[in-house]
């Protein structure tokens, strides 16, 4: 399986302040709230068309901000080489 360290979606922080050294953020995994919208026909949310190929999402309790933090050797099926 391919790893984050060779993926175009993996981004290291600009500095390590407040970070665990070596971690990065996956830009392929987006916030659930941003990738969905209310469905006009029901009281459920639907995936927006531009996110149809995404396989994972992140969500926090407030839908304000969340990100997937990984180490360089984390493996992922959404890997795309740099």
Indicate yes or no: pTM above 0.75. yes
For the chain of 82 residues, list the mean pLDDT of each consecutive stretch of 10: 96 92 96 92 90 95 94 96 88
Measured in degrees and rounded to the nearest 5, phi and psi for residue 76 equal: -155, 140
Q: What is the pLDDT of residues 19-30, one digit of tens each?
A: 999 999 999 999
SS percent in the chain: helix, strand, coil, step 5: 10, 25, 60
Domain boundaries, the chain: 4-70
- The pLDDT tens digits for 36-45 are 999 888 889 9
């Amino acid at each position: 399986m391919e790893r984050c360290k060779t993926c175009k979606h993996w981004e290291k922080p600009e500095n390590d302040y407040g970070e665990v050294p070596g971690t990065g953020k996956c830009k392929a995994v987006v916030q659930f709230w941003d990738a969905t919208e209310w469905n006009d026909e029901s009281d459920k949310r639907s995936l927006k068309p531009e996110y149809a190929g995404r396989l994972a999402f992140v969500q926090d309790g407030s839908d304000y901000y969340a990100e997937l933090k990984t180490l360089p050797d984390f493996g992922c099926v959404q890997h795309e080489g740099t």
